Amino acid sequence: MPDPQPVPVTVLTGFLGAGKTTLLNRILTEPHGKRYAVIVNEFGEIGIDNQLVVGADEEVFEMNNGCICCTVRGDLIRIIGGLMKRRGRFDGIIVETTGLADPAPVAQTFFVDDDVRRQTKLDAVVTVVDARHLRQSLAEHNHEAEDQIAFADVLILNKTDLVSAAELAEVEMAVRRINAFAPIHRATRGDVALAAILDRGSFDLDRILKVSPDFLTAGHSHDREHAGSFSFTLDKPVDSDRFQNWIRTVSAVAGDNLLRCKGILDVGGPRRFVFHGVRMQLDGDYGKPWTPGEKRESQFVVIGRKLDETALRSGFEACVRTDA
What span, in angstroms and rounded, lies between the C-alpha atoms of 246 and 212?
A: 15
Give the model's pLDDT for residue 279.
Answer: 59
CA geometry: angle at 312 spanning 310 and 317, to 5°?
95
The one-character DSSP state at 159 is: -
Where are the domain boundaries for CATH 3.30.1220.10 in the chain? 228-317
Dump pLDDT digits (tens) for 1-45. Answer: 455 788 899 999 987 778 887 888 888 888 888 888 888 764 333
Contacts of residue 185, defined as CB under 8 A and 6 or more positions apart, other chains included, come to 154, 155, 156, 157, 192, 193, 196, 197
Neighbours of 315 (CB within 10 A): 17
| Annotation: CATH topology of 228-317 | Hypothetical Protein Yjia; Chain: A;domain 2 (3.30.1220)
Q: Rounded to whole angstroms, how far apart are CA atoms 119 and 244?
A: 27
Return d(Cα 187, Cα 175) in angstroms, integer: 15
Residue 298 parent element (H or E): strand 298-304
- Report DSSP state, residue 5: P
- Cβ within 8 Å of residue 167, ≥6 positions away: 131
Burial 18-42 (b: 16+ CB within 10 A, else e): bbbbbbbbbbbeeeeeeebbbbbbb
* Least reliable range by pLDDT among 184-188, 222-226, 305-309: 222-226
* CA–CA gap between residue 9 and residue 47 (Å, rounded): 22
Q: How far apart are the first and last CA of the chain?
A: 45
Contact yes or no for 158/26 (Cβ under 8 A): no
Predicted TM-score (pTM) above 0.75 = no
Identify the band that residue 224 occupies on the pLDDT scale cut at 50, 70 and 90.
very low
* Nearest residue to 251 via CA among 275, 230, 281: 281
Q: Is 199 helix (H, G, I), strand (E, B) or coil?
A: coil
pLDDT in tens, 10-21: 999 987 778 887
Return the CATH superfamily for domain 7-196: P-loop containing nucleotide triphosphate hydrolases (3.40.50.300)
**What is the spatial distance between Cα 301 and Cα 33, in angstroms, rounded to a whole number?**
36
Residues 281/215, Cβ–Cβ less than 8 Å: yes
The most distant pair of C-alpha atoms in the chain lies apart, rounded to whole Å, by 63
Task: Inform me whether the pLDDT recorded for 221 exceeds 60.
Answer: no
Residue span(s) of the chain under CATH 3.40.50.300 come to 7-196
Given a contact cutoff of 8 angstroms between Cβ atoms, the answer to whether 6 and 120 are in contact is yes
